[in-house]
């Protein structure tokens, strides 16, 4: 726990008070990982036009389709980020539905393992 200001010093009494407030509480961390290509599969299910564009680009040479490949990569990256944010909100909602307090930190993003 942090003191109110950086110049404050914890006294034995204030420290004991803070520790009393923590009595009976537990801290847990949740780490979520996508299995294999689950994130990309989910994105392509939500946005089938991305898969259609990818299939169409594959029929063309890399040189001829270079601008389209760049645009598709950007669109896929944006859709992946959107899906991660949706999944984070779902996890947060599920954590918050518990009777205990839940504090959310995006410091550790949901990643692929």
- pLDDT class for 100, splitting at 50, 70, 90? low
Predicted local confidence at residue 2, as pLDDT:
44
Mean pLDDT throughout 27-53?
89
Per-residue pLDDT tens digits for 46-79: 999 999 999 999 999 999 999 999 999 999 999 9
- SS3 category, 111: strand
Tokens representing residue 37 in the block = 């290509």
Contact between 43 and 76 under an 8 Å Cβ cutoff? The reply is yes
- pLDDT over threshold 90, residue 110: no
């Amino acid at each position: 726990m942090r003191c109110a200001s950086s110049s404050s010093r914890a006294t034995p009494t204030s420290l004991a008070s803070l520790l009393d407030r923590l009595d009976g509480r537990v801290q847990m961390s949740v780490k979520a990982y996508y299995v294999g290509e689950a994130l990309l599969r989910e994105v392509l299910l939500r946005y089938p036009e991305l898969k259609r564009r990818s299939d169409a680009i594959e029929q063309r040479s890399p040189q001829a389709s270079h601008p389209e490949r760049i645009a598709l990569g950007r669109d896929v990256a944006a859709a992946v980020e959107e899906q991660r944010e949706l999944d984070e909100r779902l996890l947060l909602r599920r954590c918050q539905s518990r009777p205990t307090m839940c504090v959310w930190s995006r410091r550790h993003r949901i990643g692929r393992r």
